[in-house]
Amino acid sequence: MQQFPTTRSPVLNDPFGFVVIDKPAGLTSHNCVSRLRRWYGLRRVGHGGTLDPAVTGVLPIALGPATRLLPYLPGDKTYRGVIQLGTRTNSDDLEGDILATESWPSLDTGALERALQPFRGAIQQRPPQVSAVHVNGERAHSRARRGEVMDLPARSVTIHHLTLLDWDPASGRLGLEVHCSSGTYIRSLARDLGDALGCGGCLAQLRRTQALGFNETQAHALPDHPGPDDTPPTPLSPLVALTHLPRRQLNGAEQDDWRCGRRLTMPPHDNSSTGEAVVVCNDDGSIAGIGHREAEAQLRPKVVFNAAG
């Protein structure tokens, strides 16, 4: 694995970077953030990519000023899940109230593959009723819990890879691996696949294995009550997850200019565009911040760590 230099912390000895948590079932993403806030003794902690309480797996958490980098991380995510055919619920998963049950059709793996094919690539997907989508300034899940039924518009999402892992005709359960764009709901995929098969469906289990450039091999278990003998994980450099962005290395003379917020020069490349985000690194390879491309080969500081003044 590529090694990255330690980032210069804006506050001496202040934790800075990303910690990947293997979120257990039963906790909200906010619960995990609160626990890490106490563990590291930091107020400024944020997570990338909310997980429902029942969902386990990769939850990247930013420490200190690294929270400013969350918008620049890659949005694609990967999940392994189990879909239950023949069951419809009000939340599109088994955590919700069951609305209807019926028998699923006799299917072999070939028939399932054909049923899955329309869900690959760019698709239109309607979010679940119990979701974080805003409806007239309020989260859909809040309105759904009051008994409201909303007509949520479909949104464009992309399912890059959709792999059938296993199929149990006796239980009506199939396992999937899904690599998808930000904003994709696996619960909606379960519902829509069930509708396409004419029997209904919902999500039975879900685990996220990759998110925002981090994967489950980097994840740490979350202690229930971290004690004085429990050393928190060493944060990962943000550069681990920013490999998708172009990079600009500073020389020694440029570092002071960058810290003072002065523009730098950066010649465009074939696919560059105005507004493109660029990772800026110190001469030792550690992250110095994020710049945005401007016209005339200029790079404007947007996120500056260790700013002067």
Amino acid 273: pLDDT: 87
Whether 230 is a known active-site residue: answer no
Closest to 65 measured CA to CA, from 305, 308, 307, 309: 305
**What's the CATH architecture for 245-304?**
Roll (2.30)
Whole-prediction pTM: 0.90
Beta strands 87-89 and 77-85, pairing class: unpaired
The enclosing H or E element of 303 equals strand 298-304
Active-site residue, from 52, 92, 93, 192: 52
What is the fold, at CATH topology level, of the domain defined by 77-209? Pseudouridine synthase (3.30.2350)
Mean pLDDT, residues 117-145: 76
pLDDT at 1 over 50: no
160 close to 183: Cβ distance less than 8 angstroms: no
DSSP 42-62: -S-EEESS---TT-EEEEEEE
User: The CATH number of 17-74+213-240 is which of 3.20.10.10, 3.30.2350.10, 3.40.50.410, 3.20.20.105?
Assistant: 3.30.2350.10
Confidence of residue 12 (pLDDT cuts 50, 70, 90): very low
pLDDT at 88 over 80: yes
